[in-house]
Structure 1
Amino acid sequence: MSEEFTSQQFRQVLGQYPTGVVVVSALIPGEPPAALTIGSFNSVSLEPPLVAFYPSATSSTWPRIQAQGRFCINVLSAEQEVLCRAFAQKGANKFDGVSWRPAPGGAPIIDGAVAWIDCEMESVQVLGDHHLVVGRVTALDTQSRDLPLLFFRGGYGRFLPSSLAASDASVAEFLPVINVIRPELERVAAASASECLLATRVRDEFVVLAGAGSSTSRYRNPPWMEESTLRGGGPTRVGRRLPYLAPMGAVMAAWGSAADVPRWISPDAGIDPAVMDRWGDFLTTVRSRGYALGRGDIPYAALENAIDNRTGGVWDANLLRALDDVREAVLEQPPLDGSRSSYDVRSLSVPIFAPRGSVLQMGLYGLGDDMSLFKIRRCIDRLLKASWSCTQLLGGAMPEGFPRPESQDDGYQSDS
């Protein structure tokens, strides 16, 4: 192995490490805002909160930003590659035609960025042909659930693995479970050509822990919704937090504590007895079948839109209204008796019984509104097989009388 290398080799080898892409912006008094594209941004310290990046020593834009003493880091989304390239060019007004709003310190926050981090200059040091800039964070926030833009091997791209897992302190205890169950998620997703998700309940929230595959269908566009508000079928649902409210987590409610059911049906006191009876019948059907079925093309599209555009957190008012429509659609469970040529099935989910009475949910999401009975049955068999398998892998116990798969095959034969 030679200890000598060229600049080209240096760039090629270091290019094997993917980095995020940010735009560093600053407000310049009496001039257009300044900005430059950076592919070497990272966090430095939590206490105090410090971040760093490395602008080129030959940059003509960096001295203008440095002179202001503060700047804003814009984490670009995977949809902003064109914008990224524009900010990387030399120009008098890089913000011409770009929508933005001021951060608390005044620097531009670019519309559509995944996140922004407002900073005061902490220190600047010359390192070779670059500067090391350290900023003290004064404010920050996320403003989009989009995937970030990446720079890798000399090109731009996005993070689209076949399997993702949520990372959060409140779900850290589930990480070993995810590792055990992930192979089953991937097998079910691959055989069904759809997205397979693992979810749990964390207090009053329904949390998507992990996923595999991606949705092959696309929600039909309701007349009142613009095409641009609907995103494709990429696996972006991992990490989602939704209210633990019917019908979210139906199989967890069906095999969970009976005392939790009224709260799951409605967060308000005084539930209408007729409504309670309808949901009671629904949960009885779920327990007898071994799975929950979600339906309703337009309600599910509206729910996706409400999730993507919520501004009020997990219990966003628009999200709750969208859930109401989905609830009504889910309550009308179609009999799978072959009386129709096709069925509208948006989701299928089964329980996984972990030790100590804990129930998780595995399900296929983003299915079609014209599924054949044969395909639905195959998906159900795969999920029921996975329910038995995952429960055994986790050391749990299946409830007495829980349904078994109907087919005798391995349950993972592909539909393709």
Structure 2
Amino acid sequence: MGRYPTGVSMVASKGSDGPVGMIVGTFGSVSLDPPLVSFMPAKTSTTWPLIEQAGSFAINVLSVEQEAVCRAFRGDHASRFAGEPWREGLTGSPILERAAAWIDCSIESVFDAGDHFIVLGRVVGLDSPNTKLPLLFFQGGYGSFSPGTMVTTEVDLPGNLAFIDYARPLMESLSRLADCECVLGKFEHKNMLIMASAGTRKDSKLSTLVGERIPVVAPFGRTAMAWAPEPEVEAWATSKGPEHRDRYKQMLSSIRQRGYSVTVEADQVSGSEASHALAVLDPGVESGSEGGTTTGTIHSITAPVINDLGAAEFVLGLYGVGKVAPELLEEATQALGAVTTELEHYLRKSAQPKGTTA
């Protein structure tokens, strides 16, 4: 079993003399309907009787920053919560503010299982307010993991799969450098297919968008449209009415001149037609146009991957960049430019007939 990594959770409850808790590696999801979870305390545990007496508990999925919480649980109950901010959940059970996720439960039932009990809890509330990676336990030590690239199952063409395989390590490296999420999209006729994603966003909007096909309607898709043929540009710029035409075309001109798009945080995309994907991917104001500047919180930096026809076949973006100093912004854009240049070279090379050279 030492070859099997496990998550690390604190099961906490409200005891008669204050909060009580125990560290477990046996937390698991049991059922969605009704919502049930489980954990398995040892029969020798002195904490489990206190939790059972309370009739409720909260599962706190520890983040990679909370290894010290595990060490604190070697002491008495009072010291276990010292220095760790927490609040009471719906059941009164302690919820750790820095946990990667929490699940508040009432005890549903308890089953005998050898030298352990199996405890079922009925979920009354849950949330994942933080984007830090979870803490893992493996072969006697604590650690975490680096999330790999997620790839959509909709991409079934060998050429696209080969392109993603080539882009994958570049995206992961870029995500680590900029400390945000790196997303690859493929521009299709009037749509953007989110093909792959690497890393995590810093904010609570973190969402797996891979596989979503999003209509390219102004201002979304601006980076691809900056290199599109004029008829497509005209249709895009007037998609929300002719009164927006000049402003959107000026935006595209600024992006093309700069070679990439930089958006700063602004009001979220609104309206009944605005999907969650649009709200996450494109709520910003273009820097250098529409009065935008790069002095605020940077939402995204996106650049095209130009094919041999001069069109943006793919768009590579950094999302959730945050507030960064000008020199760090320049470093991120240069790194993004270097990756898109390498991807363009691969794209053109792969498009050549076999037996020819660039």
Please report the TM-score for the alignment, with normalisation by the length of structure 1: 0.59
1:362 counterpart residue number: 316
2:154 counterpart residue number: 173
1:66-215 alignment runs, 5 A limit: 66-87=52-73, 89-161=75-147, 163-165=148-150, 173=154, 180-186=162-168, 188-189=170-171, 197-199=183-185, 209-211=196-198
Change in 2 beyond 3 A, CA 1:151/1:261: farther
2:14 counterpart residue number: 27
Change in 2 beyond 3 A, CA 1:382/1:277: same
State the Cα distance separating 1:156 from its structure 2 match. Answer: 0.9
State the Cα distance separating 1:271 from its structure 2 match. Answer: 5.1
**Partner of residue 208 from structure 2, selected from 224, 230, 239:** 239
Partner SS, residue 159 of structure 1: coil
Change in 2 beyond 3 A, CA 1:373/1:19: closer
Look up the equivalent residue of 2:149 and give its one-letter code.
Answer: L
Per-residue deviation, residues 289-322 of structure 1 (Å, max 9, x unmatched): xx952459xx5xx79xx9xxxxxx87879x94xx
Change in 2 beyond 3 A, CA 1:391/1:144: farther
1:261 counterpart residue number: 236
CA distance in 2, matches of 1:61, 1:372: 49
2:271 counterpart residue number: none
Partner SS, residue 132 of structure 2: coil
Unpaired runs of 5+ residues, structure 2, are 269-275, 294-299, 322-326
CA distance in 2, matches of 1:210, 1:372: 17
CA distance in 1, matches of 2:334, 2:132: 35
**Partner of residue 32 from structure 2, selected from 40, 46, 67:** 46
The answer to which structure has the higher strand fraction is 2
Partner SS, residue 133 of structure 2: coil
Whether the 8 Å CA contact 2:301–2:317 is kept in 1: the answer is: no
Whether the 8 Å CA contact 1:102–1:109 is kept in 2: the answer is: yes
Whether the 8 Å CA contact 2:303–2:337 is kept in 1: the answer is: no
Look up the equivalent residue of 2:343 and give its one-letter code.
Answer: L
1:211-360 alignment runs, 5 A limit: 211=198, 239=208, 249-254=221-226, 255=228, 258=233, 261-262=236-237, 272-282=244-254, 285=256, 292-294=259-261, 320=283, 323-324=284-285, 326=287, 328=289, 348-350=303-305, 360=314
Change in 2 beyond 3 A, CA 1:380/1:176: closer
Partner SS, residue 97 of structure 1: coil
Whether the 8 Å CA contact 1:165–1:238 is kept in 2: the answer is: no
Change in 2 beyond 3 A, CA 1:360/1:120: farther
State the Cα distance separating 1:128 from its structure 2 match. Answer: 2.5
Whether the 8 Å CA contact 2:103–2:126 is kept in 1: the answer is: yes
Whether the 8 Å CA contact 1:194–1:364 is kept in 2: the answer is: no
State the Cα distance separating 1:207 from its structure 2 match. Answer: 5.6
Whether the 8 Å CA contact 2:238–2:245 is kept in 1: the answer is: no
State the Cα distance separating 1:160 from its structure 2 match. Answer: 1.0
State the Cα distance separating 1:74 from its structure 2 match. Answer: 0.9
1:384 counterpart residue number: 344
Change in 2 beyond 3 A, CA 1:150/1:269: farther
CA distance in 2, matches of 1:175, 1:37: 44
CA distance in 2, matches of 1:43, 1:137: 10
CA distance in 1, matches of 2:242, 2:86: 46
Change in 2 beyond 3 A, CA 1:47/1:31: same
Per-residue deviation, residues 65-107 of structure 1 (Å, max 9, x unmatched): 1111111111111111112322354333522332112222221
Partner SS, residue 55 of structure 1: coil
Whether the 8 Å CA contact 1:16–1:153 is kept in 2: the answer is: yes
Q: How many residues align?
A: 316
Change in 2 beyond 3 A, CA 1:153/1:351: farther
Partner SS, residue 64 of structure 1: helix
Change in 2 beyond 3 A, CA 1:329/1:84: farther
Whether the 8 Å CA contact 2:36–2:121 is kept in 1: the answer is: yes
Change in 2 beyond 3 A, CA 1:368/1:379: farther
Whether the 8 Å CA contact 1:349–1:364 is kept in 2: the answer is: no
CA distance in 1, matches of 2:316, 2:332: 21
Whether the 8 Å CA contact 1:24–1:74 is kept in 2: the answer is: yes
Unpaired runs of 5+ residues, structure 1, are 1-13, 215-229, 307-312, 333-344, 393-406, 409-416
Look up the equivalent residue of 2:316 and give its one-letter code.
Answer: M
CA distance in 2, matches of 1:330, 1:385: 35
State the Cα distance separating 1:25 from its structure 2 match. Answer: 1.1
Change in 2 beyond 3 A, CA 1:17/1:105: same
CA distance in 1, matches of 2:29, 2:157: 27
1:335 counterpart residue number: none
CA distance in 2, matches of 1:123, 1:42: 15
Change in 2 beyond 3 A, CA 1:389/1:67: farther
Partner SS, residue 383 of structure 1: helix
Whether the 8 Å CA contact 1:350–1:362 is kept in 2: the answer is: yes
Partner SS, residue 236 of structure 2: helix
